[in-house]
């Protein structure tokens, strides 16, 4: 049989959208077939990192593929956020094959009054 002509990637990136809605950054990514326990989300004030894996549904010998566009295996996405976020209020949910992460912007409302001595 002729050698397959598709590329194989050891780790893929995760396609996503990131936008501002009110005081929150909203992150969306398609993750159909990924189990919640197979996703790890790490946030700091300035970065968001999503790691995970999607297991193959059935075993197929590589020689039997004509083309392969679906990604199976590990993936990772790291984003530098445009503004600091409130890490304690980040929420994530999976619905209809999409991962949605709500990242509230950090508000700087602290005021301190000082008097000269």
**Class of residue 105 by CB neighbours under 10 A (exposed 0-12, middle 13-18, buried 19+):** middle
Query: Is residue 3 predicted with pLDDT exceeding 80?
Result: no
Nearest alpha carbon to residue 94 among 28, 46, 42, 50: 28
Residues with Cβ within 8 Å of 93's Cβ and at least 6 positions away in sequence, in order, are 99, 100
Domains of the chain: 12-104 (2.60.40.790)
Which residues are bridge partners to 12 per DSSP? 75
| pLDDT single digits (tens) 86-103 | 999 999 999 999 999 999
Nearest-angstrom CA–CA distance, 67 and 35: 25
Interval 50-78 mean pLDDT: 85
pLDDT higher than 80, residue 12: no
């Amino acid at each position: 049989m002729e050698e397959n002509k598709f590329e194989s990637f050891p780790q893929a990136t995760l396609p996503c959208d990131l936008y501002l809605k009110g005081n929150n950054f909203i992150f969306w990514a398609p993750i159909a077939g990924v189990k919640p326990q197979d996703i790890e989300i790490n946030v700091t004030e300035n970065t968001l990192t999503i790691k995970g894996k999607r297991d193959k549904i059935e075993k197929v010998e590589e020689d039997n593929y004509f083309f392969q566009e679906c990604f199976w295996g590990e993936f990772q996405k790291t984003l530098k956020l445009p503004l600091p976020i409130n890490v304690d209020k980040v929420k994530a949910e999976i619905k209809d094959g999409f991962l949605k992460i709500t990242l509230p912007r950090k508000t700087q409302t602290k005021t301190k009054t000082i008097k000269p001595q």
